[in-house]
Structure 1
Amino acid sequence: MPWQSSPALPILLLLMSNVFMTFAWYGHLRFTDRPLWLVVIASWCIAFFEYCLAVPANRYGSLVYSPAQLKTMQAVITLVVFAVFSVLYLKTSFSLNHLIGFALIATGAFFVFKGPL
């Protein structure tokens, strides 16, 4: 089907999957009074939905992107989602050091997508 080879589809799916995974991995940090076994089970339940989005993202993404490009997109999306999550949900600060570090990673992503030099 033509929609499966859309360049935007894997990006959208990776974005949604990273939202789920960020909550699965870090959402419990606001609930430190809960038993660890309970947050592990809850995290696994949330992560199931992440897999339901990430696997198709990579399957459909491989129709239009190289594996290196897919992994690079996933890494950059993860950083963006985590930055927003940590500020809005965990109420942590975002400093200039974070911005510079993320900019350096984004520079690396640029070279992955640029092609041969």
Structure 2
Amino acid sequence: MQIELTINDTLVTGDLYDHPVARELFELLPLELVFNDFNQVEKVAPLGSSLTLRGVPRADAPGPGEIGYYAPSQGLVLYYDSPGRWPGLVVMGQFDYDLNALRALPDGTRIRIAAAP
């Protein structure tokens, strides 16, 4: 499932993996979310609703350049570093954006996520 993220007028390509959580997120697109830095590892935005956790591992260890969902806070996450393995984390896809630029984004940055045409 190909997606596009719009970050400060820059169009970024990405893919969502083929599993139930990613498919459910894909059905919600397009979304415009406000991202804030968390733990100097990731940018996170409240999704506003919970996604199913059926069919995915109970814990995951995302890497830089991946998209995740953190079930306890219902957050959509863009990783620029590795947070380690955590229960409730689900890796949902990947994106192609300069990770240093992502790290430098100020809190409150709006990012639009849509299905690629």
- Of Structure 1 and Structure 2, the greater helix share is in 1
TM-score (norm 1): 0.24
Q: Indicate the structure (1 or 2) with the bigger Cα radius of gyration.
A: 1
TM-score (norm 2): 0.24
- Of Structure 1 and Structure 2, the greater strand share is in 2
